[in-house]
Amino acid sequence: MRTLVFTVPSEYQDRKVLHYLRGCAGLSSRIIRNLKTYDDGILRNGEPVRTIDRLCAGDVLTVNLPDDPAEQLPPMPDPPFLEGELPEVLFEDEDLLIVNKPGTMAVHPSHNHQGDTLANWITFHRAQEGRDPVMFRAVGRLDKGTSGVVVCALNAYAADRLQRGVEKEYLAVPSARLEGGGTIDAPIFRPDPIITLRVVDERGDRAVTHWEALETFEDRTLCRVWLETGRTHQIRVHFASIGAPLVGDTLYGTPSEEIARHALHCARAELTHPVTGERILVEAPLPQDLSDLLKR
């Protein structure tokens, strides 16, 4: 159980507990409804309190976030999975786990990936540290073939506070010689709900990708990429739409003998800690397969 403690400021004098929890504390309606089902979910100065009760400046509100339901906890990974390349921990505390994910690893369990995902690894990692398992809450997912920074919230409060609050920067290798930089502002549409393929189409949702060429080669370019929107496959679709699909992207381009995945890496993430307010910056170095790709 994660416990959060807040001291009520003077501007919330004589206001309802609910107003403070929704406003200053930033708890969602869903979390508050859940807390109200527990006798010790919300305490004022150590005693149970109703959300309609009035506050005094200096009151101490304690919020006890319940443990995640057992049926929502990812299982331990398959033993062979632990023999492969595993994530590197970049930051960890009671509320966040930020890792550098290998490009070969899926993030979420699915029909094809039951015991070999980042979610399974986190269950293993926490068991190794003597900690309880948690429900998997990735804040902005990466495709299986994309390596780099993944931010995981370890409780519902942290997940709510982080939505759309993570600034990411990517390194990509499009299969064309590109100069300078630019912006791709083109809507992305999913023509068939059964398959994952996306296309640039006016029927889609607005998507904006910014890019800057860092290093140019005869048939490829190392680009820094940052997004205004977060559509599925956005970087891959947008570069393919300008005739420069990422090297190794078998869905939007062609297979490559030089790399076994699409050449995309989340190199940097910056965020405000959901509880402490601390500004956090993490970086993941270019992985070996992408580094080798730029030497050829």
Residue among 221, 215, 191, 219 at smallest CA distance from 203: 191
Whether the per-residue pLDDT at 296 is higher than 80: the answer is no
Q: Max CA-CA distance within the chain?
A: 69
CATH class of 2-65: alpha beta
d(CA 112, CA 121): 16
Provide the pLDDT for residue 5: 97
d(CA 138, CA 149): 11
Residue among 154, 151, 79 at smallest CA distance from 115: 79
Whether the per-residue pLDDT at 117 is higher than 90: the answer is yes
Selected from 3.40.109.10, 3.40.50.12280, 3.30.2350.10, 3.30.365.10, the CATH number assigned to the domain covering 174-262 reads 3.30.2350.10
Provide the pLDDT for residue 71: 81
List pLDDT tens digits, range 62-100: 999 998 988 888 999 998 889 889 999 999 999 999 999
Instruction: State the Rg of the chain over Cα.
Output: 22
Whether the per-residue pLDDT at 159 is higher than 80: the answer is yes
**How much of the chain, in percent, has pLDDT values that exceed 70?**
100
The answer to whether residue 143 is catalytic is yes
Whether the per-residue pLDDT at 168 is higher than 90: the answer is yes
CATH topology of domain 70-160: Pseudouridine synthase (3.30.2350)
Mean pLDDT, the chain, whole residue set: 95
Task: Tell me the one-letter amino acid at 173.
Answer: V
Provide the pLDDT for residue 207: 98
C-alpha distance from residue 41 to each of 16, 29, 45, 266 (Å): 16, 14, 13, 37
d(CA 281, CA 169): 11
Beta strand 147-153 pairing with 208-216: unpaired
Query: Which token pair is 151?
Result: 């931010």
Q: How confident is the model at residue 109 (pLDDT cuts 50, 70, 90)?
A: confident
Give start-end residues of each CATH 3.30.2350.10 domain in the chain: 70-160, 174-262
Provide the pLDDT for residue 163: 80
Whether the per-residue pLDDT at 165 is higher than 90: the answer is no
Beta strand 264-272 pairing with 147-153: parallel
Query: Buried b vs exposed e over 122-144: b needs ≥16 C-beta within 10 Å?
Result: bbbbbeeeeeebbbbbbbbebbb
Exactly one of 116, 143, 249, 289 is catalytic; which is it? 143
